[in-house]
Chain A
Amino acid sequence: DQQVKQNSPSLSVQEGRISILNCDYTNSMFDYFLWYKKYPAEGPTFLISISSIKDKNEDGRFTVFLNKSAKHLSLHIVPSQPGDSAVYFCAALGTYKYIFGTGTRLKVLA
């Protein structure tokens, strides 16, 4: 049973445009969410997080939105850059562990 879902395995965006990556979860008890970026041959790198008491958190070009009623979060990257090309994982914090989605491969075209 996949508690955290990323339904888009891949996304292509032109450089300078907005990238929107989506994530859905099923467990309403999750109260902390994170986005990680992963390049080939490297471990996931923490990008941004949000707690359930907020609906938005912004850090530079990255903004995470949380819609608790829809059990949905999204990561917006504006403007997208070629260096943003990577696999993006959303994760929800369970009791003591992270539960990851399957990832979305973002390709930013120059």
Chain B
Amino acid sequence: ETGVTQSPTHLIKTRGQQVTLRCSSQSGHNTVSWYQQALGQGPQFIFQYYREEENGRGNFPPRFSGLQFPNYSSELNVNALELDDSALYLCASSLTGTSGGAWETQYFGPGTRLLVL
């Protein structure tokens, strides 16, 4: 077990609604990354937060946004939900050192499965 937790485990929403997913990082980790995994695909990078700032972003529209809190827990918010947003959402925590974080291993939570109807 990685120590990374996510809530809720499952969620059903309708098109146009907004959703907030939560992630609690592994103790001591200061970086959190969010991924979207569609059925039959590998995880796709959404964005990463380090010290409460967005540290990089993948090819996702601005209606995907995030927050990282001082205790390093994190939220993923998705506005104006679309049917294609139905997926497994994974967060991963890691430790980034002061010299930068090229080499850190990311540890994943169990994911939140979102279904948009």
Contacts and interface: CB of A to CB of B under 8 A. Distances in A.
Interface size class of A (residues with CB under 8 A): 20 to 34
A43 interface: yes
Given A98-B43, A100-B42, A102-B40, A44 B90 contact: yes
B106 interface: yes
B91 to A, nearest CB: 8
B16 interface: no
Interface stretch (A56-64, A69-77, A89-97): A89-97
B45 A98 contact: yes
Contact of B42 (A32, A41, A101): A101
Contact of A102 (B41, B102, B105): B41
Contacts, number: 61
Contact of B43 (A41, A42, A44): A44
B97 interface: no
Interface size class of B (residues with CB under 8 A): 20 to 34
Interface string A1-41: 00010100000000000000000000000001010100001
A6 B102 CA distance: 23
- Describe A's contact surface by its main secondary structure: strand
Contact of B101 (A6, A42, A46, A96): A96
B103 A32 contact: yes
Given A34-B105, A49-B105, A43 B90 contact: yes
Contacts of B44: 100
9 contacts: A32-B102, A32-B103, A43-B92, A43-B111, A51-B103, A93-B102, A96-B101, A98-B43, A102-B42
Interface of A: 4, 6, 32, 34, 36, 41-46, 49, 51, 89, 91, 93, 95-103
